[in-house]
Structure 1
């Protein structure tokens, strides 16, 4: 089992945190992934199970079973081989996401009278999978990406003596948390400015544990956070990928309006993106594109394209979404507050010109800026 120093520190702090969940509002998941089998995922789960309280191992579990067992025993759930069943179980994915935050419940009808009952789903979870886990789960997780050891890196096997030592550490961890109740209950660690949203929720737990432990641990925890942030691969959601590709489509084509059919064809032609096999191995359709974009309140319009009516999209409808969800859209160099939501103007790109085809020699984004400036000048005047 090969772990980088930052990963080892995160695992150690997470194990302590499982003993102190009653003091926190969030239960960060520990997501253990690898590109290939034989990388140590199951071994790490064994160690975690020996260190965490009330371990419950499962190689397969349903969402309903998860909720019932959490309600009954408040375990630390240890889930292996999630790649074999998680993708097919919407309910399980939902409760794994919900259980990240205290107070979330799964509601089910029980008994002969089908009485509605709320089941608590808040619990720490370590989950291992070959390949990737769902984006929504990764955002609630500390991700430990493992690699198969090379010949000269072969670690010692996890024998019974080592596991017995881990179980003794579990008892010591429980006592440490018991002795630190007052400090943990009042914990409010300072977070770096770059930690936001769920990332901040997750690290608030581990930094509180590190602050309580004292010594070098606060600094080690911050170093671990920075290291994992710097080395993490880009985990973009499908929505962010789609917005980025649509922005690229407008730029590459040099237009400020595009038909739904043309946009879908452009997306599907990108071999390194998921649009060519969007659903059940089939390409994304115009209807699926419209449905996906509706979550950003972007909808196709009926307009004239080359003299014919067709449904399509205007660049200006994407301005807000580009600025909110594409980090590289920041830094437009525009200081006036009226323009803070404008997308970034990218470098020059090739374009064709021609009468009646909706394409001009003027950069469409530049034209959009100029029109907005003219409107502001007219308004001020």
Structure 2
């Protein structure tokens, strides 16, 4: 912008400000907050829409078609069908792309009713909570919010499960808690599904996977059943989460000295010696733990070597962190979910955590 243009803009702004001030009630300019709200209201009602419409006319070079009102971050825009088509706005859309991003970000973090209030506070635009809810279910079906593809090869996959509370059809009936599945790829990308395990494994399989592929999980059978659907058996390098292993070990109880000895053996991958020590000294008390060891024996590795020499993860903390991040939305105080709504919210929350909404 040239100096003369800047001077002209300042003159126009001053003139515009005088007109708007003369048309403002005195009680709306008592405090700085009042002035902020009043100025924003004028911008959204009188200035923003006209300015945006001028830009749109210059860009599209058309004014043909049925008029449609679009709520935007600069106010309500009255645009023609051909203008919207040229700008890439889908048919029947009532909210502009930027305002839509703002509302999706809020809906991914808080209840729809709270998102309605916060959206008005932040943008000055009113969008009802029911509209926000419908928007989530519509947008999460679109390709741009699909689980992302990694530009580099994935070398580590962590899987785990979380719980979601479902609303029951009968009023007064106790709610049900059901499992959903979550994945974290290379400690970066989030993915989660509800009653669609094949969708999660298909997403992981669609990535470029290294050989070997590090597969980390706890002792739950469902986790390893999911891993069995990913990549080839010889490609997977399965590791039982060290911290879950240690937690189960100390549940055995008894002599702390013996537990420390077993811990050292397991840390160094000496599984046979760990089993022998338990079988000699406390076979009855350790029976459950020994069965746990036998079940996951091929997943018990030399944890010390992997961590110190190869710098490979030995715990599934990445996916446990993902579960906590997802639960921040799913487990808002008092929340109960329609079973058909869980997948949409999981996808939205993952898109938010993956940075897809703001991209």
TM-score under structure 1 length normalisation: 0.21
TM-score under structure 2 length normalisation: 0.22
